[in-house]
Chain A
């Protein structure tokens, strides 16, 4: 009786192991179900969804104009002090002094991609880009100025 039970136990153990091994063997012979991606080689075909939060960028149009009014809503919304708005005084068409942004400094190294600045922006001046390969050799390169040099605000954006 004891020997019968003993053999039964061994048989059950071997059966359960074979069952799992069959599953492994199935994938060993069915290469179509392999789902891993060859990442650095498939950079050209890699498509990230448009909502992917990679880094904050400021889109410019062909006349080198952006939509940022310098309202500082993004600066206030940011939990980490990632964005800093630096102002300059500019003369408008009537010769009056007008406040405009000089630099919109963005610290990528502090950013947590929480999307709160994009949500806070009233004029859709900034958006999230789909880049994700952010590593650089010098960390100063991570401090970015979002507006292009010589850019100005688009007409009709208040």
Chain B
């Protein structure tokens, strides 16, 4: 993308203003106070409750309290069959519902040892990447709004809306699609799918420079993002961060590259890495990742193979006795699905390794010593989706 290099240059040139990061004093002092952010707070995008210990405006400690939206999805899955439990995972990370369903379908297929037709694989990857773009668009708009910029929200939602229309046409729903089933996908692609995706890509390419003009190059935005919430590569690994959060610190952790599933090993795309580790690097990772997703869709949209979109599977699915694990790269990081089967029609135990939980755990570490106003920038760039954290 042109214009992008210019913005990057600007980023490198700008002098990073070093805030005085005084090490936080131990314990609860006399001048300290406790502030509750949430559970109902617009900047947390959900029912996240943060108990913040403040000294003046400096954060001494951030303690996330979870459980406000705990629906015991893992326990619920134990009473649902292997076809039924997939829809529940759309309600975990609802912004990348497709990718969650994909992980579950992969895990069940691994147990059933069925081969997925090439058409279904391509459809799945296409839908995954469209979901990734939609998720990052929402993140971009919502995070900009948290920081006080209202216009980018509308611009991001304009592009996201056209993805939602594509989803609505092919999958029948806008957010919780339940499109992936064990053995393939539920419906074939809608006849106008290819044209609509091409239209979307044209729209996206003609509008993507607007984000750079309004946000990336904006001096207020840069000053609020740079050197805020610095996460080193070592800490990213030790806290278990994945996805753009870790890639912003230079940790290579893209599951699509490292443990390719479906047809990702035949596709050409770059793993986006930034080395800054601050909020701005995480922002740049996501903005650039959207362009990589466009690149993947471009490679696939004209080469969708003909054939079945679903393998015939038995009416009642039974996984053999054993343990199965699959992982995918959602828009937020690595999602792992672990199924323990006793050979029955329902799983004995299901564990989801959700990316949001690990990414949230790093918040206290990066927020210590910074100002309260910067907490919003940190939470925004960690891209927290609360139902994914609580499950």
Contact of B190 among A24, A51, A53, A120 (CB under 8 A): A51
CA distance A34 to B353 in the complex (A): 41
Using known A-B contacts A19-B213, A35-B161, determine if residue A116 contacts B83 with beta carbons closer than 8 Å: yes
Closest beta carbon of chain A to B184's beta carbon, Å: 12
B155 shortest CB reach to chain A, Å: 8
Q: A17-B220, A128-B172 are in contact. Are A114 and B87 (CB under 8 A)?
A: yes
Judge whether A112 and B219 touch: CB under 8 Å.
no
In Å, the complex CA distance between A20 and B219 comes to 10
Bound complex: CA A78 to CA B210 (Å): 45
Shortest CB distance A92–B (Å): 28
Q: How far is the CB of B222 from chain A (nearest CB, A)?
A: 8
- Tell me if B194 is interfacial: C-beta within 8 Å of chain A: no
In the complex with contacts A51-B170, A51-B190, A114-B87, A35-B158 CB distance below 8 A: yes
* CB-contacts of A11-45 with B (<8 A): 12-13, 16-17, 19-20, 22-24, 35
Which residues of chain A have C-beta atoms less than 8 A from B181's C-beta?
Answer: 119
Are A20 and B218 closer than 8 Å at their CB atoms?
Answer: yes
Q: Is A87 in contact with chain B by the CB < 8 A criterion?
A: no
Rounded to whole angstroms, the CA-CA distance of A97 and B85 in the bound complex is 38
B158 cross-chain contacts in A, Cβ below 8 A: 35
In the complex, the answer to whether A51 meets B219 with C-beta atoms within 8 Å is: no
A49 at the interface (CB under 8 A from B): yes
Contact of B58 with A by CB under 8 A: no
Among A17, A35, A52, the residue within 8 A (CB) of B173 is A52
Most buried by B among A22, A35, A112, A114: A114
CB distance from B280 to the nearest CB of A (A): 14
Contact of A51 among B84, B151, B187, B215 (CB under 8 A): B187
How many Å lie between the Cα of A79 and that of B85 in the bound state?
A: 8
- Identify the closest chain B residue to A130 (Cβ): B172
A115 touches B (CB below 8 Å): yes
B33: CB under 8 A from chain A? no
Cα(A48)–Cα(B87), bound, Å: 22
CB proximity to A under 8 Å, residues B154-186: 158, 161, 168-173, 176, 178, 181, 186
Which of B84, B172, B220 sits near A49, CB closer than 8 Å?
A: B172
A4 to B84, CA, bound (A): 67
Encoded as 1 (CB less than 8 Å from any A CB) or 0, chain B from 208 to 241 comes to 0010011101111000000000000000000000
Determine if A12 and B219 form an interchain contact, defined as CB atoms under 8 angstroms apart.
yes
Size of the A side of the interface (Cβ < 8 Å), in residues, is: 26
B80: Cβ under 8 A from any A Cβ? yes
Structural contact, A53 and B218, CB atoms closer than 8 A: no
The answer to whether A24 and B87 touch across the interface, beta carbons within 8 angstroms, is no
The yes or no answer to A113 lying at the interface (CB within 8 A) is: yes
Mark out the residues of chain A between 38 and 64 whose CB falls within 8 Å of any chain B CB in the assembled complex: 48-49, 51-53
Within 8 A of B (CB), among A106-136: 112-116, 119-120, 128
Q: Does any Cβ of A come within 8 Å of B88's Cβ?
A: yes
Determine whether the beta carbon of B84 is less than 8 Å from that of A79: yes
Does A154 reach chain B (CB closer than 8 Å)? no
The answer to whether B219 and A115 touch across the interface, beta carbons within 8 angstroms, is: no
Identify A13's interface contact among B87, B176, B178, B219, CB under 8 A: B219
B210 touching A23 by the CB < 8 A rule?
yes
Give A13 to B87 CA distance when docked, in angstroms: 48
**Known contacts being A51-B169, A51-B172, A79-B87, is A17 close to B218, with CB within 8 Å?**
yes
Interface residues of B in 118-177 (CB under 8 A from A): 151, 158, 161, 168-173, 176
Chain A residues contacting B168 (CB-CB under 8 Å) are 48-49, 51-52
Say whether B173 contacts A53, CB under 8 Å: yes
Tell me if A105 counts as interface (CB < 8 A to partner B). Answer: no
Chain B, residue nearest A52 (CB): B172
> Do B171 and A51 have beta carbons less than 8 Å apart?
yes
Q: How far is the CA of A23 from the CA of B170 in the complex (A)?
A: 33
**What residue in chain B is nearest A20 (Cβ atoms)?**
B214
CB atoms of A115 and B172 under 8 A apart: yes
CB-contact partner of A23 in B84, B85, B176, B214, under 8 A: B214
Interface pairs (18), CB distance under 8 Å:
A12-B219, A19-B213, A20-B214, A20-B215, A20-B217, A23-B151, A48-B168, A49-B169, A51-B168, A51-B172, A52-B168, A77-B83, A78-B84, A79-B85, A112-B176, A116-B84, A120-B315, A128-B172
10 cross-chain pairs, A with B, having the tightest CB-CB distances, nearest first: A79-B84, A51-B172, A13-B219, A114-B87, A53-B172, A20-B214, A49-B169, A114-B178, A16-B219, A16-B217
Q: Which residues of B contact A (CB under 8 A)?
A: 80, 83-85, 87-88, 151, 158, 161, 168-173, 176, 178, 181, 186-187, 190, 210, 213-215, 217-220, 315
